[in-house]
Amino acid sequence: MTSPLAQTLTLPCGVILPNRLAKSAMTEGLADKFDRPTRRHNQLYRTWSEGGTGLHITGNVMIDKRYLERAGNVVLEDDKYLELFKHWAEEGTAGGNQLWVQLNHPGRQCPRLINSKPLSPSDVQLDILGNFGKPKAMTEEDIQEVIQRFARSAALVKQAGFTGVQIHCAHGYLLSQFLSPKINQRTDEWGGSLENRARIIREIIREVRSAVGDDFPISVKLNSADFQKGGFSLEDCIQVSQWLGEDSVDLLEISGGNYEQLSLMGVEPTEVRESTRKREAYFIEYAEKIKASANIPIMVTGGFRSRDVMENAIEKGETDVIGLARPLCTQPNCSSKFIKGELEQLDDYEQGLVLGKGFLGNNSSLNLIKAINSFGQVGFYYWQIILLSEGLPVEPGLRVFRSFCRHMKNDFKLGMRRKFAR
């Protein structure tokens, strides 16, 4: 019997996804000191492309070199190095898959080492370990420039040979900041009501569509909720999703959380019913509600680990596409094995990546342990990406504290290298 995961999916623009499995975006940190793609991107994405996943979405590609999510991000703001992007696109589609570029602007989530005066809808600072400067509230001119930069970068994505584009509106980055009434405190046409807070996203979609044409896939990554009091809510998401359907979006990826509430990484508790935990996917119940009101194919990312759970989600129409991220760092060919029925369950390394179980201490100590666990898990998967990009075998035995130290050291090294290259 053919697996439901092997089914094709025709998007509203007419493009056909070869199966129902997708690699969700993960920031790679592999750019050179001038923010250009490298041979390591080519190696990494060829490896993933040959692993059977039908849709691949790149990690954060920045639209403005002044503002990065982290050092090591690729920037695509002009055609100066377009040949390098063409090589990336060629290698990343070698397996016959779709390869979409995720375009992003970090807003206030731009590390201080990159820019101490980032942009944001309002001057509400992100205070995490002193790593982020106080943002400047954007002017009308700033907003219009960002809209045009997204459109310009999307046109270059198509010119380079990638097969689609995703606009990142989740995880607390700039467009997510506009949606959040906790961060967006503007009183002009870009703030206040949900219609105003979503205006910049809808304007970007219109401009991007104009730049790439009607037959080029446009995806949006959107939080189901911020999981913060006073933040972007599920009800908000349902309404925005309906608008995005009207604006010709082809695939809506549902995620959640931000840097202050790390639901996106699966390392912070959120109110999730036990029935949902048994089905593994973090955001599946939110996606069901969104799917009922939005006329857009839905992709759910986060938590999927079992083939039967994935197949049931597709068969029941709970989601149209299954998003995988971390599992592809340690099992890059897992999609092919799932579709062929050769794999039932993904390895779950998160369970072993925990420091300080049973630890007793004060709140400061507990917060430190929590930070090491969170960023150590992130560092574990970043290190696997680095190994894959060099054509080397992964290291699943790497422990959380060592992962944390490597990640912090590597990010600082990338930041300093870039700083002194300017």
333 and 361 share a domain? no
pLDDT at 274 over 50: no
274 and 372 share a domain? no
153 CB-near residues (< 8 Å, 6+ apart): 61, 63, 76, 77, 103
Average pLDDT over residues 251-278: 56
Percent pLDDT > 70 in the chain is 87
359 and 275 share a domain? no
291 and 303 share a domain? yes
Collapse the DSSP code of 322 into the 3-class scheme (helix H, G, I; strand E, B; otherwise coil) and give the result.
Answer: strand
Q: Is the dihedral of CA 90, 91, 97, 100 positive or negative?
A: negative
Rounded to two decimals, what is the model's pTM?
0.91
315 and 375 share a domain? no
Last residue of a domain, one of 319, 347, 375: 347
pLDDT at 412 over 90: no
pLDDT at 51 over 60: yes
Per the structure, the count of domains in the chain is: 2
Strand partners, 201: none
Report pLDDT digits (tens) over 284-329: 877 888 888 888 999 998 889 999 999 999 999 999 999 999 999 9
Angle at 53 between CA 52 and CA 58, to 5 degrees: 130
128 and 191 share a domain? yes
333 and 366 share a domain? no
Range of the domain at 333: 4-347
- CATH code for the domain in which residue 195 is found: 3.20.20.70
Report pLDDT digits (tens) over 21-40: 999 999 999 999 999 999 99
CB of 21 within 8 A of CB of 5?
yes
On the CB side of 291, CA atoms within 13 Å amount to: 21
pLDDT at 266 over 50: no
Report pLDDT digits (tens) over 148-173: 999 999 999 999 999 999 999 999 99
**Could you tell me how far CA 326 lies from the centroid of its own chain?**
12
Residue whose structure tokens are 């820019």: 115
Last residue of a domain, one of 299, 326, 347: 347
332 and 413 share a domain? no
Query: What pLDDT, on a 0 to 100 scale, did the predictor assign at position 405?
Result: 87
CB of 168 within 8 A of CB of 150?
no
Q: Quick one: pLDDT band at residue 351, thresholds 50, 70, 90?
A: low
246 and 303 share a domain? yes
250 and 389 share a domain? no
More confident residue, 332 or 260: 332
Query: What pLDDT, on a 0 to 100 scale, did the predictor assign at position 228?
Result: 67
d(CA 372, CA 189): 41
Amino acid, single-letter form, for residue 332? P
pLDDT at 202 over 60: yes
pLDDT at 128 over 80: no
Number of Cβ within 10 Å of residue 70's Cβ equals 23
Report pLDDT digits (tens) over 75-89: 999 999 999 999 999
Query: Rounded mean pLDDT of the chain?
Result: 89
97 and 126 share a domain? yes
